Structures are given as C-alpha cells and as structure tokens.
Amino acid sequence: MAEFLAEEERGFAAGLVTAMADGGVSLPYVFLKHYHKLGITDAEAMLMIQLMAFREKDEKSFPTIEEIQSRMSSDGDAVVRMLQRLMKQRLIDIVESYDSASGMHVERYSLIPLWMRLAAIIAREETRLTADASGQPAGTGTAAYGASLQAEGAGEQAKQPEENIFYIFEQEFGRPLSPMEVDMINGWIDQDRYPEPLILAALKESVFAGKVSFRYIDRILLDWNRNNIHTVEQAREYTQKFRSAR
C-alpha cells in the first residue's frame, strides 16, 4: 500500500511539473506593489491578472464573462460588477480594432489606463524622493496621492447600491449590463458630460414610453442636448410640453 501511494505521489508530482512547465504570465511588479493605492480590491486585482493571462497565454483579448468566471471564485454577476467598477474608474477600457486576418472589427480589453495611472504613481514617487533629498516640501508625493486615490476608491465602494447608476440600470433592464453597455454609460458621463441625474431621467422616460433600450435612451439624451436641456427640471418641463402638444 505504501509503495502504491509513493508511486501515486510521484505520478502527481510529475503531472504538476509538466503543468508548471507551460510557463507563467508576465506580471509587472509595479502592479503588485501599487494596485491597492488605486482603490483596487484583491478580487479586482485577480480579475485583471486573469485578463493578462487570457491575452498572453490563451491569445484571447476579449474573454467572455463565463470564461473569466470559470477561473475565479467569484460568480458571473460579481465579475460583471467588478468590470463595471473598473471601467467606471477608468482603470480598464474596451477598445475596437481591425483584425486584418478576418477582415472584421473586434473588441478587446485594454489595460493602458491602468498602466498610465501606475506610471503617474511612480512619477510622483520619484518627485517625492527628489524633494526629500533636496529638503523641499513633498506634499504632492506618492503618500498624498495614494491616500487621495484610496479615498476615492473607498467612496465608490461605500456608495449604496441603489445610488449607483449601473445598479439602477440593471434593475430597470432586469439583467446584468454587458461590458459594451457599461462603456456606453461611461461615455455619456465622461465624454458627453451628461449629469447622472439627467441620464437616469432619460432612463425613466424610456421606461414610461415602453422602449427600454440603450439606443432609445441615447436618442432622448441627444434630443435634450440639442434643445439645451441640462437638468432634470428642464427635462421634465420639456417632456410635459411635448406631450401636451401631442
């Protein structure tokens, strides 16, 4: 029996060695050292590591939610929520590129925003070290910068679910949002500069009209913007006049 167990252990060890021989994933040390300063949780950091692994080892730059979830202890809904938060914080992005082999436009996750934020931390750390060496004040060093980022992340995490725009959209649509839908909401906020209350007002209007779709909500926001509607009160008055005219 002992000989059988010893043989089994050797077989297991040989299999483990073979698996390890497949190689590792290039993981920047600066990410491991500083990710917490960006308000990234350990679970979100693992999700980012999985995205790196998919890209490097599996040649998949846009893995599905199911593929990511299969490698994590988090369920699919939790993975979606983490992706939403990371995109809202501009730590990852979804970009479109042209695949010459297939002749199609494909989407992929980009970690460039993450590397830019980490580069800023390193630059500020170098500035602080230089200032310390010269005896000058270093109030804008890494410690202060990291503290502000941590506070920003903590504030986002402390936000009640019912106050989160992504959560509200999920409740109205009755399902988790796709990464593309999350990116569209981020575009309304960061690129179009629509106030969140106005976006939620457009969502409410789409529900009232029985046309709950991102395309319809986008049309509402565009119409309001053309008519200089920038507040919920203005939107309410404009909508009432429109309905009265009909």
Question: Do 6 and 97 fall into the same domain?
Answer: yes
In which band, very low, low, confident or very high, does the pLDDT at 3 lie, cut at 50, 70 and 90? low
pLDDT at 146 over 70: no
Give the mean model confidence (pLDDT) for residues 170-177.
Answer: 79
154 within some domain = no
Question: Do 168 and 100 fall into the same domain?
Answer: no
pLDDT at 10 over 50: yes
Question: Do 35 and 92 fall into the same domain?
Answer: yes
Residue 195: give its domain's CATH number.
1.10.10.630
Q: What is the pLDDT of residue 23?
A: 61
Which has more pLDDT, 209 or 26?
209
Question: Do 30 and 102 fall into the same domain?
Answer: yes
pLDDT at 198 over 60: yes
Integer Rg of the chain from CA? 24
Which has more pLDDT, 178 or 143?
178
Give the mean model confidence (pLDDT) for residues 76-105.
Answer: 85
pLDDT at 56 over 70: yes
Q: Which residues of 125-141 are buried (b: 16+ CB within 10 A; e: fewer)?
A: bebbeeeeeeeeebeeb
Give the mean model confidence (pLDDT) for residues 28-45.
Answer: 88
- List the domain range (segments joined by +) for residue 224: 160-246
107 within some domain = yes
Question: Do 106 and 12 fall into the same domain?
Answer: yes
Q: pTM of the full predicted structure?
A: 0.50
Contact 107, 115 (CB under 8 A): no
Q: What is the pLDDT of residue 96?
A: 81
pLDDT at 54 over 60: yes
Question: Do 166 and 98 fall into the same domain?
Answer: no
142 within some domain = no
Among candidate residues 114, 135, 152, the one where a domain is terminated? 114
Q: What is the pLDDT of residue 158?
A: 39
Task: Give the angle 149-152-157 at the CA atoms, nearest 5°.
Answer: 125
Look at the chain and report how many structural domains it folds into: 2
Average pLDDT, the chain: 78
Q: What is the pLDDT of residue 11?
A: 57
Q: What is the pLDDT of residue 47?
A: 96
Question: Do 31 and 93 fall into the same domain?
Answer: yes
Give the mean model confidence (pLDDT) for residues 202-221.
Answer: 92
Question: Do 74 and 14 fall into the same domain?
Answer: yes
Q: Is the dihedral of CA 179, 184, 190, 196 positive or negative?
A: negative
Q: Is 236 helix (H, G, I), strand (E, B) or coil?
A: helix
In which band, very low, low, confident or very high, does the pLDDT at 145 lie, cut at 50, 70 and 90? very low
146 within some domain = no
Contact 142, 131 (CB under 8 A): no
pLDDT at 170 over 90: no
Question: Do 10 and 91 fall into the same domain?
Answer: yes
C-alpha torsion 210→214→220→226, nearest 10: -170
153 within some domain = no
Q: CA 148 → CA 92, 145, 180, 214, distances in Å?
A: 19, 5, 29, 34
Among candidate residues 80, 97, 114, the one where a domain is terminated? 114
Q: What is the pLDDT of residue 9?
A: 57
In which band, very low, low, confident or very high, does the pLDDT at 214 lie, cut at 50, 70 and 90? very high
pLDDT at 217 over 90: yes
Give the mean model confidence (pLDDT) for residues 122-139.
Answer: 67
Spatial CA neighbour of 121 closest among 30, 44, 45, 29:
30
213 within some domain = yes
User: Residue 170: which H helix or E strand, with range?
Assistant: helix 165-173
CA distance 163 to 60: 34
Beta bridge partners of 109: 94
pLDDT at 14 over 70: no
Q: Characterize the bridge pairing of strands 104-110 and 93-99.
A: antiparallel
Cα of first residue to Cα of last residue in the chain, in angstroms, is 87
pLDDT at 88 over 50: yes
